[in-house]
């Protein structure tokens, strides 16, 4: 599967470099947003976002944090809400 993804990404980059890309502005923004979300593991998330990312309820999330199976939250300067990072959210 990764080989296919690489093939599509290389094709897209080649099309962009040669000026032959058929992506609309909206499509390009969606691709950029999706790739950023997949690649960047250091973007802070709220508890709500972390629960969505892990596909679990807040109570299950809280339980796993209490059990030490998930990391405790981090305080991020400038945010009232506590944050978690994708790179830390591994079960």
What digits encode the pLDDT tens for the residues 20-66?
A: 988 899 998 998 888 887 887 777 888 999 999 899 999 999 999 99
pTM: 0.58
Q: Is the pLDDT of residue 82 over 80?
A: no
Q: Taking residues 6-28, report their average pLDDT.
A: 91
Q: Taking residues 2-10, report their average pLDDT.
A: 91
Q: Is the pLDDT of residue 75 over 80?
A: no
83 bridge partner residues: 74
**Domain segments of the chain as ranges:** 2-39, 44-88
Could you give the CA distance from residue 68 to residue 87 in angstroms, rounded to a whole number? 16
84 bridge partner residues: 45
């Amino acid at each position: 599967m990764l080989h296919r993804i690489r093939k599509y990404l290389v094709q897209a980059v080649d099309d962009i470099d040669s000026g032959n890309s058929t992506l609309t502005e909206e499509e390009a923004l969606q691709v950029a947003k999706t790739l950023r979300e997949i690649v960047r593991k250091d973007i802070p998330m709220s508890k709500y976002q972390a629960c969505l990312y892990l596909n679990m309820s807040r109570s299950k999330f809280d339980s796993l944090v209490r059990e030490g199976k998930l990391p405790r939250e981090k305080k991020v300067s400038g945010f009232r809400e506590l944050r978690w990072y994708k790179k830390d959210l591994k079960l």
